[in-house]
Every structure is written in structure tokens, then in C-alpha cells.
Structure 1
């Protein structure tokens, strides 16, 4: 299958970037994190999203991360690279580079510094679509970017550019936006959810084909998705609402990245929970609140040391 024929659906966690306590990228933990995702039977992996702290990474660090992830995955699942930027020329350059580095598809955030009007938004995504051959997923995340992607504009882009074929809907209320996008695009656009899976069950019910959450609970999302696909709505709904408090606490502004990493560290998936400025490390009270949401629940990340030893 060529990359232009790649069909994205299911669970595509946004891979965190593990750092050592001194702030350097931890390559060993990164490899272990990828193995953790594959063990959870994810359908794909996304790099350089907001949950990757992509806005803190140097160009050479991103190149090395891409190299490591491509090496670990070895083509077993598709890879989606975030390549948005606050300027058109840089976004085009990043997108072309991602395609060369092994991306099967791109996740593109709109410009987020100078807020663009409709014409500038169209020109930005049109330029990226013309520059690459792989599928493009537009990230509609106004809470992060400050830019709303109107459904008519998304529909127009999908009609005029064949490789603009996906949208990650993170514009609350996401479930209503999913319906709007699908209706206005006449089925040309395939929709994923985001916002750490907080509305995943409702999004599936409205026609979304998957979600792209943070990466510390992949097996939970896989279970919800597989149950829903199999028509076992009771299991999908029950599992979703069991873990919803944990998903919600993983969206706290300023501390979300720390939440993701503290859970991964607690079970031995990564060695350090270090986050780069402007993200803040959590204190003991928040750590206790996070773990309270997981009481009586079986999270793979928290028992990864044992699961890894059994696998070996």
C-alpha cells in the first residue's frame, strides 16, 4: 500500500517526548514509550502534537525523535506527524520534511500567532496540500490555537484538495462539530476526536472513526473503540465513563503534560516526568488527585514493569 492509500482510523495516541531530569531528550524512554503503545495494540501513533511539547523541541531533536520512532515502529502502524506552524512558509517546509522523514500523514494546526482570516487560512492549507502527497489532517483546536476552523471552509478545502481528507475536531462541543463537518463535507472528510478523549463515546456515536488522545491510557481507548465497532455499546459506554474523570484531569491547563508523564513514570514506561517550560511540574496534591481518579481501575501504564517482564 502506498502512503497515499493509507486509511486512518482507530486510536492514534499523541506521543509524549520523554526528557531526562536535565532536560535532554531521553532516547531510551522514547523507545520504551513506543513499545508500550504497540503492546496496547494502537492503530497508529502521532508525533509532534501539543501533548508532545512540540513547541519546545529543537529542529535537530525533532529529526532524531522521528528517526527513533520510525526505527521502533518498522512500518507496523501508520505515523502521523504534526507539522503546523504559525507561518505558511515554515509549515510548508516542516510538512515536506515530515514526509521525507517517514510520516504516513500530517496533522496540521492552523497559524496561531497572528490570527488569520478566512482567506489566509485557505491559502495556508492550500499551500501545504500542494507541497506534499500524503494525507493531511486539519487540527481544529481553537482552545489551543485561538483559531476556529469553520465547517464550510473545511468542506471547501476537502473538495479542492484530495489529500485534505481528515479533521481532528477539538472545538467544543466536539460532538456537534463532528456532525457539522460530516454533513457539510458530504463524506469527503474523515473525523477524529481529540481533547484527550473526553467526548470519545459521543463522537463515535456521531460518526467519528477514532481519537488522538495523550499516550498514557492507549489500551483504554482501544477497548472503547473495539467494543463500539463490535456493537457492544454497553462495554464501550461503561469503560468510557469509568475513565472519564482521569481523561478530564489530563486536560488541566499548564499541568496536562505533567499529568501524562507522571502516570507514565509511575509504572516505569519512562524514567522522568520532566516537562519543559512553559509547562509546570505537578505538586504532591495534584499527584494525589490524579491517582485518585485511577483507584479501582486497571491501567496498563501503572503496571508496565510487570507487563514488560512477562513479555520478555
Structure 2
């Protein structure tokens, strides 16, 4: 598989990690999940992210999941692997393992201990040194990392750290950040890198309009992400918004802290993608009232999709 580059675009779906009802890895569901995302039109996959429950996996389990996904994709889709870790040694070890298995690149979020612009830059310079020629995605998700990265700091990283080839943009609100970065690269002040956006796709149409290249996020209906990106690329923004609007109520529900991932896994299990909606402990589960909410949203979504002929 070719390595990740600054030209990456489309939809890199953040994959869940399937577990059996007793919390063991469900590798058979991994195969079905990969097939499902590919058939839905995903450009690539991102595994072992926060919503892939990566912190709950052992090092060996992380290797097993990466190996299984990469074997199933068999080079057809680029795979980015989350390798964020408290220390650079563990990050380097997992990166070397997954790149050896055929991954296209890795994703690194900043640790919460970073407080200043200089500390943030120094951290990613150290990451690049530790990872060698492995291309990496800078995950900018201050809502969970508590690290705010200003556009000028991202620009410095882009200009001085060659192996940073993508920004996973999850600032919120953050549309102005995308605009600032694109103006900088358009003016020739910075290298143009790929920008893919997260947050469950809640702002995807607006993010693409500001210059994002697509999405790197999860949603139990990846068809929405693919449809919005496809229609924008084809010059049909109104159609993109129609598709987005039809799925928005469920996407909004799925973005709740805690219960959101349980909602995503519930729907994926209902769709036959994974065998069980189980989250590894500690993890939330849907209450009967939550389940009723989701079922109501699914029914309304089905009706709306029929109305707009999707």
C-alpha cells in the first residue's frame, strides 16, 4: 500500500472495534465491518481511534486488529492507524508494527500536558523524529485533549515537519481555522496538506465549503459522509445538503458524550455489520428509552430518504 500523502481526500471512516458480548475481540465482525465500509464507498479507513476504544485494548490486541483490517483490505483501501500514546517509545513501536503490516500512515493526538505553542510544536517535532519517514495525521480535537492548537502553530508544524501530511480537524467551532489554513496555503505561505474533518460529520457541508478535503470520522450510516463529499465534488452543494439534512437528527444523537458510541454500535449491529453492540467496560449502554429514541429517528430517516430519492 502506498503511503499517505498531502493529496488525500474523500472519506476515511473511523472504524469501531467489535467485541463479543463478554468483551473479547470479535475478529469475524472486523471482516464484515471492513467489507461494509468499502461497499459504502469509503476512500480509506482509520482504526484504533478514540471511538475505536483504542485505550481499552492491550498492545497485542491493537496489533491483532490492525493485522486483521489490513489483511481484509488487501491494499484496496489506505488504512490509517491511531498510535497516540503517553510515550514516544510505545508510539514508535506500534507505528513500526502497523507500517510493516501495510498501513498507509498513523494518527497522533497531543497529550493533555501541552500548554504553550512552543510545547505543541516541540512535541510534533519529536513525534516526527521518533517515527522517521512514517507519514502522520495531526489530530486536532481540543474537546477531548484539552489542547488548543492555533492556526499559526499548525502552519509552523506544516512548514517544519515534512511527515505531517494531514490535519484531522475536530475543533468546534472551527470553521474559521480551516479558512485560515487554506488562505495560508493558497498564498504560498505554507505547504498545502490534506484536511479531513471529524465530529461525526456534524459540520461536514460547511467544512467542505471552507476548503476541507473530506471526512475522517465515524457514523453508523457512512453513506451520508460519502454522499455529501461526492455531491460537493460533483458541484452539487444543494444535493449534498439535502442528503446531510436527512441524516442529521441521527448524527446529532450519535454525538452525545458517553452514549453516542453505544448508539453507533447499536445501529451497526442492527444493520448486521457487527455481531454485538457491546462496548468494552467501562462503557455505556443504551437504556430502553435511548433505544426508543434511536428507533424513532431511524424510522423518520427512512421516510425522509425516500422523499428525496436517496
Which residue pairs with 1:167 in the alignment?
A: 167
TM-score between the two structures when normalised by the length of structure 2 = 0.90
Q: Contact between 1:168 and 1:194, CA under 8 Å: does it hold in 2? A: yes
Matched, 1:201 2:202: no
Q: Contact between 1:174 and 1:193, CA under 8 Å: does it hold in 2? A: no
In structure 2, what is the Cα distance between the partners aligned to 1:4 and 1:171?
22
Greater mean deviation of Cα atoms: 38-47 or 83-92: 83-92
Q: Contact between 1:80 and 1:107, CA under 8 Å: does it hold in 2? A: yes
Deviation at 1:207, TM superposition (A): 0.4
Which residue pairs with 2:78 in the alignment?
A: 78
In structure 2, what is the Cα distance between the partners aligned to 1:234 and 1:159?
35
Which residue pairs with 2:308 in the alignment?
A: none
Q: Contact between 1:10 and 1:43, CA under 8 Å: does it hold in 2? A: yes
In structure 1, what is the Cα distance between the partners aligned to 2:72 and 2:7?
21
Matched, 1:251 2:279: no
Which residue pairs with 2:306 in the alignment?
A: none
In structure 2, what is the Cα distance between the partners aligned to 1:222 and 1:245?
17
Is there any run of 5+ residues in structure 1 with no aligned partner, and where?
A: 300-312
Greater mean deviation of Cα atoms: 36-45 or 128-137: 128-137
Which residue pairs with 1:303 in the alignment?
A: none
In structure 2, what is the Cα distance between the partners aligned to 1:156 and 1:145?
20
Residues 146-185 of structure 1: pairs in structure 2 closer than 5 A: 146-185=146-185
Greater mean deviation of Cα atoms: 129-138 or 237-246: 129-138
Q: Contact between 1:17 and 1:52, CA under 8 Å: does it hold in 2? A: yes
In structure 1, what is the Cα distance between the partners aligned to 2:202 and 2:44?
19
TM-score between the two structures when normalised by the length of structure 1 = 0.90
Q: Contact between 2:46 and 2:81, CA under 8 Å: does it hold in 1? A: yes
In structure 2, what is the Cα distance between the partners aligned to 1:88 and 1:151?
24
Q: Secondary structure at the match of 1:46?
A: strand
Q: Contact between 2:7 and 2:193, CA under 8 Å: does it hold in 1? A: no
Residues 93-108 of structure 1: pairs in structure 2 closer than 5 A: 93-108=93-108
Is there any run of 5+ residues in structure 2 with no aligned partner, and where?
A: 304-310
Compared CA separation, residues 4 and 222, structure 1 to 2 (3 A): closer
